[in-house]
Amino acid sequence: MSAKNTIDERSYEYLIRQFETIFHSSSDGIWVCDGNGMVININRASEILNGIRAEDVIGHNIKDLVARKIFDHSVTTRVMATGLRQTVMQFIPKTGKYLLSTGTPSLTEDGRIALIVVNERDMTELNTLRQEFEKSQQVREKYRQELSDISLLELERNDIVAESAAMRRILQMALKLSHIGASNILVLGESGTGKGLLARLIHKNSARNTHPLVEINCAALPENLLEAELFGYQKGAFTGADEKGKIGLFELAQGGTLFLDEIGDMPLQLQAKLLKYLDNKEIRRVGGTRSIKVDCATIAATNKDLKTLVAEKAFRQDLYYRLNSFILQLPPLRERREDIAGLVRFYLSEANRTYNCARTISPRAMRSLQEYRFPGNVRELRNIIENGVVMSNDDQITEFILASIDEQVPGGLESFPRPATTGEGLAGKLQAYERELLLEARRRCRTTREAARQLGISQPSVVRKYKQYKID
């Protein structure tokens, strides 16, 4: 053997090795077929993408593989039919993947197809994203139609996040009440659910918005001071009173809206005065003898159960009936978890802007927040995010969030607050409690094994129960 031959063989072997390395290291799938569609070779990525082994397809015609339903249709047959480069989207039933396949012909000098090289790119993730995007577009469109009178822009302008159907329904009702000029609205909901925010939205969208919105917290002042604040007083009405007397909040709200927060804490005697105002639209200042006509809308709010207060004689029944003609009931955040992600994004970007930071949150922390009970509702969420931005030292506020959620549940699972359920009887309540415990375990533990250890049940039971309660 001559020296030249040895070099040629070596470089040939070297070239083959180079080709094989490139061929198999590609993360795209590659098929090589002859001009009749006979498979000559496929690379490793293609084996994975299609869920097949090379030896099962090499030497077979592509048409047989379509008949065997390995893919729904073939780009190779299109190239054979047209003699031109073709691109198709394929679905692979075995792996559930979507592949973008491009077939390129290699032609002989006389124009016949010698080889067809097919390149397959995995588009599954992109496809899923597209489907999710389309789905969310549909939901958005549905809401848009449903809420023809709620402008999304209006919500954004008011810094209100409402992605859940429940919240959007409430906002729709609130705006309707604004537009019809309802003069007497009751807003119910746990602390921090947004009762004040809703009151401001109602006022802003009503015909009264050129007049003031006056707010008072009925739980914040002792009875006599509250009375003087609300109704005002004549000069010399009581010791220490201002010499000139003082105009009350009712009069200040003339033409506008008076927001009576924590109405459930209003003392009984003042409830009687409020009822009188609602009946004849007149007030009398403390120490005054003359009635003053006042025209303002009232929005009362409370986190208390007024019916129970009525039963306990702590709230006047006639006032309760007078107030409850238009009720807006804000659900707690844990019952509209679809709002959590939007609220987190909203308050994260607000805090980043305020504190000139660029903090982010990991999907894990977001998931934990979505499963957390939020006893303090949106106010608590806002505080957690804002503190996270201020207190974290790195770009991610994940650790801070996980730690602060943990702190809210001292003593761990044992002391986890019992859920307020409306489930039927004991069985329903037990199930709701079990679900809460599982959600908590899911949030705290990285694996189902760890959750099983924590809950004291087997790992298959954890998996079964997650499935049963639809815990992702």
Ligand X SMILES: Nc1ncnc2c1ncn2[C@@H]1O[C@H](COP(=O)(O)OP(=O)(O)OP(=O)(O)O)[C@@H](O)[C@H]1O
State the residues that interact with ligand X by CB under 6 A: 159-162, 189, 191-197, 261, 303, 343, 378-379, 382
CB of 302 to ligand X, least distance (A): 8
CB of 455 to ligand X, least distance (A): 33
CB of 330 to ligand X, least distance (A): 7
Residue 209, CB half-sphere, CA atoms under 13 Å: how many?
11
Return the number of the residue (60 or 169) whose C-beta is nearest ligand X.
169
Burial of 339 (0-12, 13-18, 19+ CB in 10 A): buried
CB of 339 to ligand X, least distance (A): 6
> 365 near 328, Cβ under 8 Å?
no
DSSP letters for 176-208: HHHHHT-SEEEEE-STTSSHHHHHHHHHHTSGG
Return the number of the residue (116 or 384) whose C-beta is nearest ligand X.
384
Return the number of the residue (39 or 162) whose C-beta is nearest ligand X.
162
Among 434, 435, 432, smallest CA distance to 423 is for 432
Return the number of the residue (6 or 329) whose C-beta is nearest ligand X.
329
Return the number of the residue (105 or 194) whose C-beta is nearest ligand X.
194
Q: For 267, phi and psi rounded to 5 degrees? A: -60, 150
CB of 171 to ligand X, least distance (A): 8
Tokens at residue 108, please? 């002989």
DSSP state at residue 19: H
CB of 380 to ligand X, least distance (A): 9
> 35 near 18, Cβ under 8 Å?
no
Q: Which residues contact 281 (CB under 8 A, 6 or more apart)?
A: 293, 294, 295
Return the number of the residue (379 or 429) whose C-beta is nearest ligand X.
379
CB of 447 to ligand X, least distance (A): 35
Instruction: Tell how far CA 122 is from the center of its chain.
Output: 29
Return the number of the residue (169 or 284) whose C-beta is nearest ligand X.
169
Comparing every residue's Cβ against ligand X, the nearest one is: 194
Q: For 374, phi and psi rounded to 5 degrees? A: 45, 70
d(CA 376, CA 386): 15
